[in-house]
Structure 1
């Protein structure tokens, strides 16, 4: 049995408009934040604000500070290694192949719990937080994690990027 579906006219741009794009394996803009290296692969500028994508390499024993995004959902795909995530008041252990979704307004953070650098893919919907990494991430490796003073200097900047830093649990630091 053949189904006959209505099709756009052959003159409709749906047949010819090449609106997509590709980012190659080594593409993106690399930025460093403490002991995290992120390649910002896709920005909101490229997707009309729909989403952003970053590919991160997180050094062993390191990760980010607990925080919330006030306007964006964030999702993580663990490409390699082992991580611990904060999700509100719970802890989640995640390994290679696991996917973690954090809706906006939820306290979260992550840490590489393994003994080797680990790879984490990060998605934002809508886009926005990636612009912080592009504007304020460093291009040279700092030998130490970002100190509390650095985060203190960034509070207003982070706020402008819809991020609010939150206290860590006593055993997260």
Structure 2
């Protein structure tokens, strides 16, 4: 290919620096939160704060509770199964191959409505919320149990430090 464009000098690091990275299928740090098992695959530390990525298995009829992220957008890709998402006051049913985007400051939640465990990919931009899972999720090896209200009440300040605010659940969502 012969491009007739101004190109960086041959000594420019653009030609030799490899700042990208790969995370293998079994890579990441596993954390359990209730009936969710997440592999934190990419952290803000790895991307200079640009984004984070997690790969989750959610047990049937489980998910998270309504909340907002005050500084981060969150996106989801349904890799398997079927989920119900809360987006503000709107409910969205999403299945395998569907993508859901939630801008910062928007009330949201999700629940696996499949009969089997389902896989959900989660993206944050900029990065940040993944550090909550790393610091406060339970380590692999235990069967995930639902977090009781007392656990969430203990975590309110910690969640706030991670730019997350829990919101009351309405009866339509539970």
Q: TM-score, normalised by structure 1?
A: 0.97
Given that 1:58 and 1:118 are in contact with CA atoms closer than 8 Å, whether structure 2 keeps it comes out as: yes
Q: Is the 8 A contact 2:33 2:144 kept in 1?
A: no
Q: Which runs of 5+ in 2 are unaligned?
A: none
2:167 aligned residue: 166
Partner residue in 1 for 2:118: 118
Partner of 1:63: 63
2:7 is aligned to: 7
Deviations 1:61-102 (A, max 9, x none): 000010000000000000000000000000000000000000
How far, CA to CA, are the matches of 1:3 and 1:25 in structure 2? 37
Which SS does the other structure have where 1:141 is aligned? coil
Runs of 4+ in 1 over 6 A off after TM superposition: none
Q: 1:12 to 1:145 in 2, by over 3 A?
A: same
Deviations 1:93-150 (A, max 9, x none): 0000000000000000000001000000000000000000000000143553101011
Q: Secondary structure at the match of 1:172?
A: coil
CA offsets, 1:22-59, max 9 Å, x none? 00000000000000000000000000100000000000
| TM-score, length-scaled by structure 2 | 0.96
Does 2:58 align with 1:90? no
**C-alpha spacing 1:59/1:73, structure 2 compared with 1 (3 Å):** same
Separation in structure 2 between the aligned mates of residue 126 and residue 57 of structure 1, nearest angstrom: 23
RMSD (Å), alpha carbons: 1.1
Output the CA distance in 1 between the equivalents of 2:156 and 2:144: 22
Contact 1:34 1:141 in 2 (8 A): no
- Does 2:98 correspond to 1:101? no
Which residue is 1:33 aligned to?
33
The worse-fitting range, judged by mean Cα deviation, of 60-69 and 2-11 is: 2-11
Number of residue pairs matched by the alignment: 172
User: Which residue of 1 is the match for residue 149 of structure 2?
Assistant: 148
Alpha carbons 2:80, 2:118 under 8 Å: kept: yes
Question: What stretches of structure 1 of length at least 5 have no aligned partner?
Answer: none
